[in-house]
Amino acid sequence: MKLLVTGGAGFIGSNFILYWLKQYPNDSIVNLDLLTYAGNLENLISVENNPNYEFVHGDICNSQLVNSLTRNIDIIVHFAAESHVDRSIQNASPFIQTNIVGTYTLLEAALKNKVKRFHHISTDEVFGALELNSQDKFHLDSPYNPHSPYSASKASSDHLVRAYGTTYNLPYTISNCSNNFGPYQFPEKFISLVITNVLENKYIPIYGDGLYVRDWLYVEDHCEAIDVILHKGKVGSTYLVGGLTKDISNIEVIYQILDEMKKDKTLIHFVKDRPGHDRRYAIDWSQTTSELEWKPKHSFADALQKTILWYKNNQEWWKRIKTGAYLNYYKQQYG
């Protein structure tokens, strides 16, 4: 089988490529990535000489390139996106371009070249926010109600994918997943930022009252879910993928990290809240379990421990990022 993976040099995409080539060594993968600030080929050093792996540096908005790469492809797994909410609040433009126009460009190429499956990676943020302390969860029939430019652009891309399925019979699947964490996550996202700041003895910025809730999913569990969807998922279906069964607030996540890293709470720093900050996410993945027999294998505590260990053992990886162009973004965001 031949896969075109978009955004494969990013956090989840690179974890997926490493996972897939290990599981299915006879499959081949073309990785199309623009190498924005978030793309890092270091993540893929272990497969760069694999004859079944090819990297192409380019933009998913480039229709000629995308069209030529899609010929002879069986499956497109579409990760490429601008993915950070705070950056979308600073400047929405690249989000509109990559997440909407880029997805449209890929859909056109997929149709033209008759790919057997277009799998779109999306997010639970398209459903908006849930009430704190409620038992509510996002379901497959939850209405779309995105709040940030990022989530609005992802919602648009979901609608486009479904429209191509309905109108042109494009064989698609979609997964809407919760907050991923694990190895190779760019240290702008909460858990990777907290761990690396603790390792640097820097203050930990926590937004607002710190009582916001996210549903945390270990990236390896997410890769397994995509695998199962590609093999057993029904064309034209959407699957929800999450990691937790119990709410955990951001401040509690920080306490767990500090506890695991044997540091006290003095590093915690409450800072200005994110505009339009979604209060709570929780995702009901029971249908994915009943239909596809998938459920996350890792507990939050085990996955957090593994993740902390990875950042401890791979300091050069994130230090190179944190001393580069990321410094300008950090100053703008946190002062």
Q: Which residues are catalytic?
A: 124-125, 150
How many CB atoms sit inside 10 A of residue 315's CB?
13
Characterise 84 by phi-psi region: left (phi > 0), alpha (psi -120 to 50), beta (else): beta
Q: Which residue is nearest to ligand NAD (CB)?
A: 10
Which of ligand NAD, ligand DAU, none is residue 121 near (CB under 5 to 8 Å by kind)?
Answer: ligand NAD
61 binds ligand NAD (CB under 6 A): yes
The letter for the amino acid at 291 is E
Nearest partner of 99 among 60, 135, 138, judged by Cα: 60
- Sign (positive/negative) of CA torsion 238, 242, 246, 251? negative
Q: Using CA atoms, how far apart are residues 185 and 263, in angstroms rounded to an integer?
A: 22
Which of ligand NAD, ligand DAU, none is residue 197 near (CB under 5 to 8 Å by kind)?
Answer: none
Which of ligand DAU, ligand NAD, none is residue 12 near (CB under 5 to 8 Å by kind)?
Answer: ligand NAD
Q: 9 or 18: whose CB is closer to ligand NAD?
A: 9
Q: Are 121 and 177 in contact (CB under 8 A)?
A: yes
Report helix, strand or coil for 122: strand
247 binds ligand NAD (CB under 6 A): no
Taking the complex as a whole, the smallest distance from the CB of residue 262 to ligand NAD amounts, in Å, to 27
132 binds ligand NAD (CB under 6 A): no
Q: Using CA atoms, how far apart are residues 283 and 268, in angstroms rounded to an integer?
A: 28
**In this structure, are strands 204-207 and 268-271 parallel, antiparallel, or unpaired?**
parallel
Which of ligand NAD, ligand DAU, none is residue 156 near (CB under 5 to 8 Å by kind)?
Answer: none
Here the tokens at position 215 are: 């549903």
Taking the complex as a whole, the smallest distance from the CB of residue 292 to ligand NAD amounts, in Å, to 18
63 binds ligand NAD (CB under 6 A): no
Q: 145 or 263: whose CB is closer to ligand NAD?
A: 145
Which of ligand DAU, ligand NAD, none is residue 35 near (CB under 5 to 8 Å by kind)?
Answer: ligand NAD
Q: Using CA atoms, how far apart are residues 144 and 127, in angstroms rounded to an integer?
A: 5
85 binds ligand NAD (CB under 6 A): no
Per CB under 6 A, residues contacting ligand DAU are 83-85, 123-125, 178-179, 189-190, 193, 205-207, 212, 214, 250, 274, 281
Q: What is the DSSP letter of 267?
A: G
DSSP 269-303: EEEPPPTT---B--B--HHHHHHH-----S-HHHH
Taking the complex as a whole, the smallest distance from the CB of residue 59 to ligand NAD amounts, in Å, to 4
- Sign (positive/negative) of CA torsion 47, 58, 175, 130? positive
100 binds ligand NAD (CB under 6 A): no
**Contact letters for ligand NAD, residues 168-207 (x by CB under 6 A):** ---------x-xx-----x---------------------
Here the tokens at position 287 are: 């249908």
By the criterion CB under 6 A, which residues form the site for ligand NAD? 6-7, 9-13, 32-36, 38-39, 59-61, 79-83, 98, 102, 121, 123, 154, 177, 179-180, 186
